[in-house]
């Protein structure tokens, strides 16, 4: 069965510092990978996704993620964070071709950006 593990429940960081939010998954088949962000009292919105091709994926708001098949990881990075990046971030996985409906989320990582 597939699973997603976000290794940090909370990540405090100072403004303008770099940040990495870690995500590992387990699956015996190929997967599609996603990062979603949830701002306080809102629904989720897509930051970026990996379906195929280049393993370095760029998303909105200056975020990027790298798919590492051997490490089964999809870590999210930003070189310089802003206060407005404070939010909860979710990694998610969907099975590859043939299963396009089911989506499994990680537990979430709260990014706290301090001035």
Partner 1 sequence: EAQVTQNPRYLITVTGKKLTVTCSQNMNHEYMSWYRQDPGLGLRQIYYSMNVEVTDKGDVPEGYKVSRKEKRNFPLILESPSPNQTSLYFCASSLNRVTYEQYFGPGTRLTVT
**Beta-carbon neighbour count of residue 19 at 10 Å?**
20
What b-and-e string marks burial along 42-81, b requiring 16 or more CB atoms within 10 Å of the CB?
A: eebeebbbbeeeeeebebeeebbbbbeeeebbbbbebeeb
Cα separation of the two ends of the chain: 41
Question: Residue 21 Cβ, how far from partner 1 at the closest point, in Å?
Answer: 13
Query: Residue for token digits 């015996």?
Result: 28
Residues in 44-103 that interact with partner 1 by CB under 8 A: 44-46, 49, 51, 90, 92, 94, 100-103
In the list 43, 53, 98, 115, the residue contacting partner 1 (rule: CB under 8 A) is 43
Kindly determine how many residues on this chain lie close enough to bind partner 1 according to the rule CB under 8 A.
Answer: 23
Question: Residue 29 Cβ, how far from partner 1 at the closest point, in Å?
Answer: 15
For partner 1, the closer CB: 13 or 96? 96
For partner 1, the closer CB: 73 or 109? 109
For partner 1, the closer CB: 40 or 115? 40
Q: Are strands 87-95 and 31-38 parallel, antiparallel or unpaired?
A: antiparallel
For partner 1, the closer CB: 15 or 22? 22
């Amino acid at each position: 069965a597939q699973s997603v593990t976000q290794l940090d429940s909370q990540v405090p960081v100072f403004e303008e510092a770099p940040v990495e939010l870690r995500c590992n998954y387990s699956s015996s088949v190929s997967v599609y990978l996603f990062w979603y962000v949830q701002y306080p009292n809102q629904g989720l919105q897509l930051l970026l996704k990996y379906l195929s091709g280049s393993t370095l994926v760029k998303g909105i708001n200056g975020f990027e993620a790298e798919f590492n098949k051997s490490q089964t990881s999809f870590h999210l990075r930003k070189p310089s964070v802003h206060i407005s990046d404070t939010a909860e971030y979710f990694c998610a996985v969907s099975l590859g071709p043939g299963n396009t409906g089911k989506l499994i989320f990680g537990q979430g990582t709260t990014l706290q950006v301090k001035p």
